[in-house]
Amino acid sequence: MFRNAGGTGYRRNPSPSGNIEQFRVAGEHAMHRYVARANVDHYLGILKDAALTVQQRSTTTSLLVAELDKLGNDAEHLEFAESKVATSRQQVVQAASIRDSFVPGTSQRQDAERHLIHLENVHTLLDDFCQRLRNKIGPRSV
């Protein structure tokens, strides 16, 4: 028996099936979070491919945005998103360096420039997502 919140009287033990339901719901939430993060990683991996067609890139970007939207608005997701922004920033710097290694006016330089622009767009998308999460969460305590 447990004392009730009001301090008067007693109530029976909570139903074991209620606890099981809470664990089931928590497990489903964790699974959905894991799947969304795995999908984000997968789509970011696909988007690194310089050989994607415009249609493939557009479709993959739409799928990425949908998965980012599933992540919600807590600090744990913000940390995940911020790590993706840091990685994408490194990819942009590396792609710019590769582009700069080609002679201006060559087809290799043009291909590298297109790839760089695409990586910059993905970086902007991720950075905007982080900013939306920051705005939802509000100031973080230090």
Flag whether 8 is in a domain.
no
Using one digit for the tens of pLDDT, what is the confidence trace for 13-30?
555 555 666 655 556 667
Look at the pTM and tell me if it is higher than 0.85: no
Q: What is the DSSP letter of 13?
A: P
Query: 87 is written with which tokens?
Result: 């990685």
CA distances from 47 to 63, 117, 141 (A): 11, 12, 34
Look at residue 2 and tell me if it is in a domain: no
Residues 6+ apart with CB under 8 A from 71: 33, 36, 37, 40, 77, 80, 81, 133
Residue 103: HSE in the Cβ half-sphere, 13 Å Cα cutoff: 3
- Reported as a pLDDT band with limits 50, 70 and 90, residue 142 is very low
- Paired tokens of 1: 């028996």
Are 89 and 79 spatial neighbours (Cβ–Cβ below 8 Å)? Answer: no
Structural domain of residue 43, as residue ranges? 15-72
Indicate whether 97 pLDDT > 70. Answer: yes
Same domain, 110 and 140: yes
- CA 128 centroid distance within chain: 11
Task: For residues 142 and 91, state if they share a domain.
Answer: yes
| Residue 128 counted as domain residue | yes
